[in-house]
Amino acid sequence: MTHSPIIARTLSSLHRARAELGKRNATVALVPTMGALHDGHVSLVRLAKRRAKKVAVSIFVNPAQFAAQEDLGSYPRTWKEDIARLAEEGVDLVWNPDVKTMYPDGFATRIAPEGPALVGLEDKFRPHFFGGVATVVAKLFTQVRPDMAFFGEKDFQQLRVVTRMARDLDLGVKVIGGAIIRERDGLAMSSRNVYLSPEERRTATVLFRTLKATSKRLRAGDDFKVALSDGADAIGKAGFALDYLDARHAETLVPVSSLNDGRVRLLVAAKIGKTRLIDNIKA
């Protein structure tokens, strides 16, 4: 049975709704999103429903994490469909502030994450990004005051940055990661996949295929450098402009050169046409 979530757009209505959710000590989970919801987001909502009594989803396209040349203006917005899906999933609260509510006139504070936010992956190509993410996530946590929050492994570096920040700043929120949800052909679901032309969409499967092939080679004992450079070639030949394909320690995200260096994650980011895609898998 579907039931419409409470929709809060102002801080006072959010605080009223939060007090209602937290009655009888009910645990509250938050799933932060930028809307344009797909099965990846829904998987986080379902995970949250299993772990907490009440589930809040935030929908906020955060200008602070977009650079001037990026797609803030054209980012897909599908409000009606989003709310219908969240109602179907039994979400209790949707927090949908406008930009002025999140960043009132005179706003002048920004969190500067370090550690996993400065390892030469996304941070190298989107230097503004994690400052924007950390700032908005810290605000979402203090606004909604969830007991736990769910983030996708799709944005693997972001998951590590947010986990570190929640600990470092004693935000009192347990950050929990959810597995990547993929299309049938392996492409990681993303709100940005709608930008792909039919031909780009077909080509896009090369990212996951290359991650899998590279992982297989590493597990077979191939040299890291050679396997990664062959993977980079395959992605380039398919028509992508590669930002990075790299093997990193799954916790710290520092570079690794052997599977004996601990848990290893393979991460990729590449652009096809105007669309930048990211993906990652366990090595």
Structure tokens at 5: 């979530």
| Contacts for 185 with CB less than 8 Å, ≥ 6 apart | 205
Three-state secondary structure string covering 10-57: CHHHHHHHHHHHCHHHCCEEEEEECCCCCHHHHHHHHHHHHHCCEEEE
Whichever of 137 and 256 has its CB closer to ligand AMP, that residue is 137
Which residue in the list 15, 41, 128, 249 is annotated as catalytic?
A: 41
- The reply on whether position 256 binds ligand AMP by CB under 6 A is no
Does residue 146 bind ligand AMP (CB under 6 A)? no
Check if 3 is active-site: no
Of residues 155, 196, 245, 246, which one binds ligand AMP by CB under 6 A? 155
Q: In Å, how far are 14, 29, 41, 56, 59 from 21, measured between CA atoms?
A: 10, 10, 21, 9, 18
Least distance to ligand AMP, CB of residue 221, Å: 30
Using CB atoms within 10 A of its CB, is residue 118 exposed (0-12), middle (13-18) or buried (19+)?
middle
- How many residues touch ligand AMP (CB under 6 A)? 17
* Cβ proximity to ligand AMP, 57 vs 228, nearer residue: 57
DSSP labels, 138-203: HHHHHHH--SEEEEEGGGHHHHHHHHHHHHHTT---EEEEEPPPB-TTSPBP-GGGGGS-HHHHHH
**Counting contacts by CB under 6 A, is residue 41 touching ligand AMP?**
yes
CA trace torsion 76, 54, 159, 196 (10° rounding): -20
Q: Which of 152, 215, 231, 280 binds ligand AMP (CB under 6 A)?
A: 152
Instruction: Kindly state whether residue 132 participates in binding ligand AMP, applying the rule CB under 6 A.
Output: no
Write the interaction track for ligand AMP spanning residues 175-214; mark x where CB under 6 A is met and - where it is not: ---x-xx------xxxx-----------------------
40 binds ligand AMP (CB under 6 A): yes
Contact between 103 and ligand AMP by CB under 6 A: the answer reads no
Name which of 121 and 228 has its Cβ closer to ligand AMP: 121
Chain residue whose CB lies nearest ligand AMP:
152
Quick one: 43 or 215, whose CB is closer to ligand AMP?
A: 43
List, in order, residues 6 or more apart from 55 with CB less than 8 Å away.
28, 29, 30, 31, 45, 48, 49, 89, 90, 91, 92, 93
Quick check: 166 binds ligand AMP (CB under 6 A)?
no
89 in contact with ligand AMP (CB under 6 A): no
Catalytic residue ranges: 41
Binding footprint of ligand AMP on the chain (CB under 6 A): 33-34, 40-41, 43-44, 151-152, 154-155, 178, 180-181, 188-191
